[in-house]
Structure 1
Amino acid sequence: MGSSRTRNLQVFDTELSADTVEWCPVSQHAHILACGTYQLQKDDEKNPSRIGRLYLFQFDQQQSFTPPLTEIQRIDTPAILDLKWCHTELYERPLLGMATACGEIQLHGLKDKQDGRCALEHVLSTELGPNRLALSLDWSTGRGDSTDPRVVTSDSTGSLTLLSLAEDDLSAVSQWKAHDFEAWITAFSYWDTQLVYSGGDDCKLKGWDLRMGPSSPTFTSKRHSMGVCSIHSNPHREHVLATGSYDENVLVWDGRNMRQPLSETPVGGGVWRLKWHPVHEHLLLAACMHNDFHILHCQRAAGGNEGPCPILASYILHNSLAYGADWSHLILSSPPPSSPPKETASIPLFQPEGHLRIQYESPTASFDTSLEDECGRYIPDHTTTVSAPAPVPYSGGDDSASLSCLLASCSFYDHMLHVWRWDWNPEIDKRSGETTSS
């Protein structure tokens, strides 16, 4: 058995096209997952409408033979382009930010209910301006500092808007034209939240110092050859930044020198989202549109060594555009990937709730798998393994302990949300000189 393994836990049909998933980062609510959807309604050819739905789930890893993910709320909304939880509690509750197709940023608060479950309720919202779609947002709280919470957002006019948050008010501090076409992505530097990054369909990556005003960027990089659509500041390593583009490359940067990236990794698909691991500083999750989801190890790049980042694992069970992806903060309890799968004497029948029977076929017909057996019974996670393309060899690093990570991902046209796990034992990689992925 290989030292790196991905295993599907559950699939959920979101009905509308799914494009963003976010696990709650607040520790006592780390079992909560939000998923946003986007659907273009073409009933009126001249004025098509964009509708969406916000789903809220809770994850229970103690359920052995029933799906661990349970839907607890759904809210019909304008089409959702991005979701981001505030990294810390604000006003004694987790807050979820939402960028919508009507050019509005909405904040929803997570509230505990009497039945033991949670629910989101609308708290604040603000409009960015007429005739624009809000495309992305980021919180300034990436390293746990909530003393001056702010939100930065990008939109379809190429503009960025900085929002300040008071207890009863979400208001624009400044707004400026940043890109010639759609500003697909914006993000804070979590180490200096006066610095903001942005990427647009004009193929440019830019930096902005909020203390100097938005009249001109601190840098403009044309290193990406197509539209820049993902940026994430590393919350564990100062100055380290990851960016992704339609050009199918992940670039890792040192923010002090934006003339040349530390590394360039081809991933075979447009990079719509990048997420650094919440604990392990060198692990980077990439949603690669036409080429699935990949986990990169960026230690060598962050240390200044050239060359692509090794790909430790790939998750290949989506059949459509790989858009949303996120790491959970939950700690999974399970045997390491080198342990043999447990034998199961019998699996009781149950009525599936929020779990979809689905048959996958790979483009090359190299595998197919079902998440239920022939009798319609749920297959536990340790019985579902699928081979993935061989990753780039990994020669070892500082993450010496085995990991068991919980992740969520979603794909667009097939409107699917997947919850899956990744088990990795780097010690085996060091001894064998390679990783395997399944």
Structure 2
Amino acid sequence: MAWKSRTRSLQVFDTELSADTVEWCPVPSSHDILACGTYHLQRGAGEEDATPSRTGRLYLFEFRRDGPMSPPLAELQRLDTAAILDLKWCHVLVAEKAVLGMAAATGELQLYTLTESQEGGCSLQSLSSFEVGPDRLALSLDWSTGRLESSDVRVVCSDSAGCISVLSLAEGALTALSQWRAHDFEAWISAFSYWDTQLVYSGGDDCKLKGWDLRIGPSSPTFTSKRHSMGVCSIQSNPHREHILATGSYDEQVLLWDGRNMMQPLSESPVGGGVWRLKWHPTHEHLLLAACMHNDFHILHCEKALEGNGGACPVVASYILHNSLAYGADWSRLSLEDPAPCSSPVTEPKESLPESVGHLRIQYESPTASFDTSLEDDAGRYIPEEIAAPSTTPPALPVPGEGVPSLSCLLASCSFYDHMLHVWRWDWIPDEAQQGSEQ
């Protein structure tokens, strides 16, 4: 397919600690707000069995357009916290405020509200917290509000003991509705069906994908799939298409499912790296963003698969300027009709880039493991000048004619060992649009 597509780096930010989760605020009044979470494991000194400490930092940013000479990302706040495994904004206002959920290494689900100051800025204020269990790490969370509906605000959380917790949020307090053991090992991921929020999905290090119906209780799953051959670590319900589910695994496969038939996936797409996070585009039902750990960040076009034609979903864009494990990624809902604040050369195709320096050889892939790494060389740090795209400037995208669709998106991604947050832009003219402009 002859898509015209390019990705351009807008800004790179050093998070100092290892970055593993990044989330744009989905609430309309705050689409320019970005949160990033980090994770640092400090081994205990002396005895080998000493308990390690896990610390983190929560960053809050605002995306601004002050001109081409100013970096667009402005840091608003940084909070030292326990190590952060996942962040998710509630999709709707709660008591007229945006709410950010955080899965912490202390085994807590922590909530923060986005509050405007008298000076006009924004900051995060602690709202409430809930301990999902002792001696465990909270690994993921998801809100029931994915279709921007707020009649019943609930949150689901998974943890390192293999347990799932479903909590309600009312009057600023979290209350447990149901908690159960879902997996034999770490429950890496949990997610609501956004179309029927009594349905919950979970994935674990036992290589199983499971479904749960909260109306009948968690005594047994509604289905158990072993279609993934390794740990299941990413799940998201499609907010635009009922019954559609995307899952990712350490087995380097992205699977698309019809929830009415979990015996066989609609499609299987190899992406060359463990799939830590999957994000459907906020308005385009066929676009899926994948953070692929050892193989960068990719945008998949899923239209044919969702129409029942099978086959792998083609990759329409890749962002390859990170130098470490690709963990966090998210779409912004902010409009990019105006020109980008700044730009770097196109990052595609991957084969055209020289080998990056400071590459880390990964011994452990999980963000909860005792990390061991060895440097490929003496640098070990992200150096943008040395991983820049080739000097030859690619041709610009054609200008679509009247009525020809095109898409410009703002995204953020973060990588672990090089502790880097990237904000980038993707411009895309689909195949059918290009053909229309050439006629």
TM-score range, shorter chain: 0.7 to 0.9
Report what 2:398 is aligned to: none
Contact kept? 1:184, 1:230, Cα under 8 Å: yes
Cα 1:147–1:66 shift into 2, 3 Å: same
Report what 2:395 is aligned to: none
Report what 1:5 is aligned to: 6
Cα 1:49–1:310 shift into 2, 3 Å: same
| Partner SS state of residue 28, structure 1 | helix
Within the candidate set 294, 301, 313, 2:305 is matched to: 301
AA aligned opposite 1:42 = R
2:11 pairs with 1:19: no
AA aligned opposite 1:116 = G
Cα deviations by residue, 1:342-375 (Å, 9 ceiling, x for unpaired): 9xxxxxxxxxxxxxxxxxx84379xxx97689xx
Contact kept? 2:3, 2:316, Cα under 8 Å: no
Structure 1's consecutive aligned runs of 4 or more residues displaced over 2 angstroms after TM superposition are 333-336, 361-365, 369-373, 384-387, 427-432
Between the aligned partners of 1:4 and 1:89, the Cα distance in structure 2 is: 34
Between the aligned partners of 1:11 and 1:63, the Cα distance in structure 2 is: 17
1:271 deviates by 0.1
Report what 1:112 is aligned to: 116
Contact kept? 1:3, 1:429, Cα under 8 Å: no
Between the aligned partners of 2:3 and 2:181, the Cα distance in structure 1 is: 49
| Partner SS state of residue 38, structure 1 | strand
1:116 deviates by 1.7
Between the aligned partners of 1:143 and 1:412, the Cα distance in structure 2 is: 30
2:213 pairs with 1:187: no
Between the aligned partners of 2:71 and 2:182, the Cα distance in structure 1 is: 44
Within the candidate set 144, 151, 157, 1:147 is matched to: 151
Report what 2:280 is aligned to: 276
1:171 deviates by 1.4
Contact kept? 1:323, 1:412, Cα under 8 Å: yes
2:32 pairs with 1:40: no
Between the aligned partners of 2:218 and 2:390, the Cα distance in structure 1 is: 49
Report what 2:227 is aligned to: 223
Cα 1:180–1:26 shift into 2, 3 Å: same
Between the aligned partners of 1:103 and 1:370, the Cα distance in structure 2 is: 35
Contact kept? 1:400, 1:427, Cα under 8 Å: no
Between the aligned partners of 1:30 and 1:386, the Cα distance in structure 2 is: 33
Range 42-51 or range 148-157, more displaced: 42-51
Report what 2:252 is aligned to: 248
Contact kept? 2:143, 2:192, Cα under 8 Å: yes
Contact kept? 1:207, 1:219, Cα under 8 Å: yes
Cα deviations by residue, 1:380-416 (Å, 9 ceiling, x for unpaired): xxxx8669xxxxxxxxxxx961011000000000000
Report what 1:207 is aligned to: 211
AA aligned opposite 1:363 = E
Cα deviations by residue, 1:228-270 (Å, 9 ceiling, x for unpaired): 0000000000001000000000001000000000000000000
Between the aligned partners of 2:89 and 2:385, the Cα distance in structure 1 is: 33
Report what 2:82 is aligned to: 78
1:199 deviates by 0.2
Cα deviations by residue, 1:302-347 (Å, 9 ceiling, x for unpaired): 11111000100000000000000000000102469xxxx99xxxxx
Cα 1:90–1:74 shift into 2, 3 Å: same
Between the aligned partners of 2:405 and 2:411, the Cα distance in structure 1 is: 19
1:61 deviates by 2.8
Contact kept? 2:112, 2:125, Cα under 8 Å: yes
Contact kept? 1:400, 1:426, Cα under 8 Å: no
Cα 1:127–1:265 shift into 2, 3 Å: same
Between the aligned partners of 1:290 and 1:422, the Cα distance in structure 2 is: 21
1:43 deviates by 3.5
Between the aligned partners of 1:29 and 1:288, the Cα distance in structure 2 is: 28
Report what 1:28 is aligned to: 29
Cα deviations by residue, 1:16-45 (Å, 9 ceiling, x for unpaired): 000000000011100000000000011334
Cα deviations by residue, 1:101-149 (Å, 9 ceiling, x for unpaired): 0000000000111222100000010101111000000000001111110
Report what 1:91 is aligned to: 95
Between the aligned partners of 2:356 and 2:173, the Cα distance in structure 1 is: 53
Number of residue-to-residue matches in the alignment: 386
Cα 1:430–1:254 shift into 2, 3 Å: farther
Cα 1:70–1:372 shift into 2, 3 Å: farther
Cα 1:191–1:2 shift into 2, 3 Å: closer
Contact kept? 1:162, 1:173, Cα under 8 Å: yes
2:327 pairs with 1:323: yes
Contact kept? 1:274, 1:285, Cα under 8 Å: yes
2:139 pairs with 1:129: no
Report what 1:166 is aligned to: 170
Alignment of 1:386-401 (within 5 A): 401=405
Report what 1:157 is aligned to: 161
AA aligned opposite 2:290 = A
2:230 pairs with 1:238: no
Between the aligned partners of 1:386 and 1:180, the Cα distance in structure 2 is: 47
Report what 1:358 is aligned to: none
Between the aligned partners of 2:407 and 2:414, the Cα distance in structure 1 is: 22
Within the candidate set 403, 426, 432, 2:430 is matched to: 426
AA aligned opposite 1:136 = S
Between the aligned partners of 1:423 and 1:172, the Cα distance in structure 2 is: 43
1:424 deviates by 0.2
For the aligned residue pairs, the C-alpha RMSD in angstroms reads 2.3
Between the aligned partners of 1:370 and 1:323, the Cα distance in structure 2 is: 19
| Partner SS state of residue 328, structure 2 | strand
**TM (normalized to structure 2)?**
0.84
Contact kept? 2:405, 2:433, Cα under 8 Å: no
| Unaligned residue ranges in structure 2 (runs of 5+) | 345-352, 358-381, 392-402
